[in-house]
Structure 1
Amino acid sequence: MARVAQSKKKDSAPPTVQYFAAVLRLLRERAGLTQDELGALMNYTGSAVSAVETCAKPPTDEFIDAAEKALDAGRLLRSAIKYLRLERYPAHFQGFVQLEQAALSVSSYCSQLIHGLLQTESYAREVLLCAFPPLDTDEVERLTEARMERKSLLDRKPMAVINVVLEEAALRRQIGGAEAMHAQYAHLIECANRPNVVIQLMPTSRAGHAGLQGPMTVIEMPDETPVAYLEGHGKSILMSKPDEVGVLARRYAMIRSQALGPEETLGVIEQLMGDL
């Protein structure tokens, strides 16, 4: 029964995870090592090596580095990291995240939740725990880790410019309770003080505004080509036609003009944090 379960797990794993597992096993066997012996060289257990080879768990960056060194793999294993990282994201999001990480600027309007690039780990985990149908524990942790990895864009050189307009309701929704939100507000203040991040609030008192049709993101690529992204209920649309993207870019400009300025927004966040 255990072998059947392992086989099902392996067959359902993403293709890159399956390929990495096969290459790892091939290199290990060529080196004449058992799983326990390889694990000892890596400072991992043999069962940890087995979990990766059977696709029970995807390899972490640290595991890959350790295996690369132990097997002297000539970067054969290390080169898989960026592809394995991509598969940590939902299938509908993978195309966008590649563009996001290469972007010159990311401009988003968020109506329900705080933008993923600005979320704390605790907030992100609580959001994923609210998913329906529910996600299992491993999936929640995998997606939380992936979301945290996206935040490397904030520190990338050259800097990417991040513009985010948040609906007031998204700020007031206490995901994870008071303690988690206090940390999230503090993190937003920290982000807002970065030279490459602008956060604006769309107040509830603004009864009508250009963002009522839903959340959206416009990104500018290194070749200065803008791309737009729409997402909802596990589905997404990437738009690259100049006329379509142009409409959304102009709409976003209007949304920004209707929102509170960065300093006013910072004041509201500080007030919300103080009220907890």
Structure 2
Amino acid sequence: MVGMPQAKKKDAAPPTVQYFAAVLRILREHAGLTQDELGKLMNYTGSAVSAVETCAKPPTDEFIEAAEKALDASGLLRAAIGFLRLDRYPVHFQGFVQLEQEAVSVSSYCTQLIDGLLQTKEYAREVLVHAFPPLEEQEIADLTEARMDRKALLDRKPGAVVSVILEEAALRRQIGGPEVMRAQYAYLIECAARPNIVIQVMPMSRAGHAGLQGPMTLIETHDDTPMAYMESNGKSMLLSKPDEVGVLARRYAMIRSQALGPDESVCFIEQLMGEL
């Protein structure tokens, strides 16, 4: 099969990737280096440099750091990392990701799946494998890595406070089978032990509760602006009006009060893990 022409590859790439490719080429040529010479300085092949400059492949964080050092770019290349990461997410999700990474607190109520912040790589990949319309293998790989990138929020200093309420149905859905779920349960238990993460379970035995109207995520930023995010079938809504966000915040507080407590929730997850 004939490869895609270089011009078409560039046209198909996101604008941020195209811009990075152009800046890399300009800096390389200014330094008087060939692609092979730059690759050698970076411990990459010349073809790897070519792939980035022609937009055949987006640069990884590691590639960018290596190019930054090899070209002594004064932070010019490194500054692109955050923007390039955004390109890995669906357009409707990019605004939320920016807010999430800047948040001081994130509170989510999940009904169908475990929150993306708390997914293992294997679980996340299996979710994407079952997307419809089906995704290409490279898309699955890129989106999986993008979801893992979001975990930087959990390790940031100071770390954000994360509260997650999971419906029992989301925990019982055997995404990827017993092995994947066993590792996922173990990771949830590990996360729940962290001082900045609270995980609660809404059991099916709680037949009626305040969350029946659907999932939500509440975000609080450094300027104390509360916002709410909701998503369904590839469409999203970001709310910032105080009255609208206030209603959802009060609803979330009620859901939290109706769910199992943190310790009970960990015991519940351990019990599910033991059933596998």
Shared topology, TM-score over 0.5?
A: yes
- TM-score range (shorter-chain normalised) is over 0.9
Aligned to 2:257: 257
Gaps of 5+ in 2: none
Aligned to 1:20: 20
| Residues 204-241 of structure 1 deviation map (CA, whole Å, 9 limit, x = unaligned) | 11122111111101111112221000011111111000
**Aligned positions of 1:105-184 closer than 5 A:** 105-184=105-184
State the number of aligned residues: 276
| Residues 47-96 of structure 1 deviation map (CA, whole Å, 9 limit, x = unaligned) | 11111111111101110111112222222111111111121111111111
CA distance in 2 between partners of 1:221 and 1:67 (Å): 33
CA distance in 2 between partners of 1:24 and 1:102 (Å): 28
Aligned to 1:271: 271
**Aligned positions of 1:233-244 closer than 5 A:** 233-244=233-244
Q: Which moved more, 1:188-197 or 1:151-160?
A: 151-160
The residue identity in structure 2 corresponding to 1:178 is P
Aligned to 1:89: 89
In structure 2, the CA distance between the partners of 1:2 and 1:39, relative to structure 1 (3 Å rule), is farther
Aligned to 2:34: 34
| Residues 91-123 of structure 1 deviation map (CA, whole Å, 9 limit, x = unaligned) | 111111111111111110000000011111111
- Structure 2 counterpart SS, 1:176: coil
**Aligned positions of 1:45-64 closer than 5 A:** 45-64=45-64
Deviation at 1:39, TM superposition (A): 1.1
- Structure 2 counterpart SS, 1:191: helix
The residue identity in structure 1 corresponding to 2:105 is S
- Structure 1 counterpart SS, 2:227: strand
Gaps of 5+ in 1: none
CA distance in 2 between partners of 1:225 and 1:74 (Å): 34
**Aligned positions of 1:180-199 closer than 5 A:** 180-199=180-199
Aligned to 2:213: 213
CA distance in 2 between partners of 1:202 and 1:112 (Å): 12
Deviation at 1:31, TM superposition (A): 2.2
Report the identity percentage.
78
CA distance in 2 between partners of 1:124 and 1:191 (Å): 16
